[in-house]
Homo-oligomer: A and B are copies of this chain.
Amino acid sequence: MIIVMDSEATPSEIDNVIAEAESNGWQTHLSGSSGNVVIGLQGHGQPLDLFKMGQMPGVRETMSITQKFKLASRAFSPEDTVFNVRDVPVGGKKIIVIAGPCSVESREQILETAHAVKEAGATMLRGGAYKPRTSPYSFQGLGEAGLKLLAEAREATGLPIVTEVMSPTKVALVAVYADVLQIGARNMQNYDLLNAVGLAQKPVLLKRGMSATLEDLLMAAEYVLRHGNTQVMLCERGVRTFDNKYARNTFDINAFPLLKELSHLPVIADPSHGIGVRRHVQPIALSSVAAGADGLIIEAHPDPEKAVSDGPQSLTLPQFATLMGKVRTMATAVGRES
């Protein structure tokens, strides 16, 4: 950390800052700039809070030199992290595509979808058994029955299963059935849940919160990684801004080159939530691949008009097959595979 003192800071104010730093195990080094004393911290002291140091009398500004996220950082692991979900490599040259309905609704629905998306080229199956809903009066998911249907669909197609877990009390149960534990946007800073999925040692799909910064997202990943669970996919799904008249969210396309530079973890795009309108999912999916996404998660349903949730943004199964063709062309155009 570097601490810049006000030009009018008193010697005792400067001494207090030095004392605070040294009492936390840091060595200090003084220099100057434009009439301000500059205090550089060196060595391996206790972490100090930037904002807190910045409020000490006589301090003008503080600057952290090191990034707050460590295990998630590119500096920690310069090579891209690649891991397998069953036999599907994630984070490598191949663009993965996770597809399926928002909610598991019935045996027929999930099996029909699984076969169709497999046929079209999807590499994993998604489906919600526990659904976080804004309204307590909305459908909350089939629960364990839904998990069993997902497992049956995996048996039938070989596709690994991605499904959301909402509570630390359910992690053990969901981990029995799922190949990838999904953390939803609303739970991105549910730290007990992050710790629980970290401990579960299962692959995790971590969705960005709707007003989470990229740094917040990487700090959330840090909660999982510090348990030795490095199988984490980051997922951009759109953020909340001032304009939501024509789209549900603002899809942050900048997140792809930025996250790929900041971190070694695979980055997945969720264009279904990112724009929220079925007929526009395809261009956003393609632009994600063009921007550097390592994979896509796409909502698809045999009959979106009858879906219990997220119907308006779900593709029909033929639309999904069409999209897969375009994704292959796009992957080639940017030197990837699919």
Contact = CB atoms under 8 A, between A and B. Distances in A.
A132 B189 contact: yes
Contacts of A132: 189, 191
Interface in A231-281: 239-254, 256-258, 261-262, 274-280
Contacts of A1: 33-34
A276 to B, nearest CB: 8
Contacts of A33: 1-2, 29, 40-42, 65
A61 B63 contact: yes
Q: Which of A47, A54, A135 has the most CB of B within 10 A?
A: A135
Contacts of A93: none
Nearest to A36: B65
A88 interface: no
A138 B215 CA distance: 15
Interface stretch (A109-117, A165-173, A174-182): A165-173
A312 B42 contact: no
Interface string A287-308: 1111110000000000001010
Contact of A52 (B135, B261, B288, B312): B312
Nearest to A194: B136
A311 interface: yes
A12 interface: no
Contacts of A330: 290, 333-334
A247 B240 contact: no
Q: How many copies does the complex hold?
A: 4
A139 B256 CA distance: 31
B251 A280 contact: no
A261 B33 CA distance: 24
B253 A284 contact: yes
A121 to B, nearest CB: 17
A133 interface: yes
Nearest to A242: B240
25 contacts: A4-B65, A20-B305, A34-B43, A47-B137, A51-B248, A55-B311, A56-B305, A132-B189, A167-B193, A168-B169, A170-B192, A186-B191, A187-B190, A209-B211, A211-B242, A213-B242, A213-B245, A242-B244, A253-B284, A254-B275, A254-B284, A257-B279, A257-B284, A287-B288, A290-B330
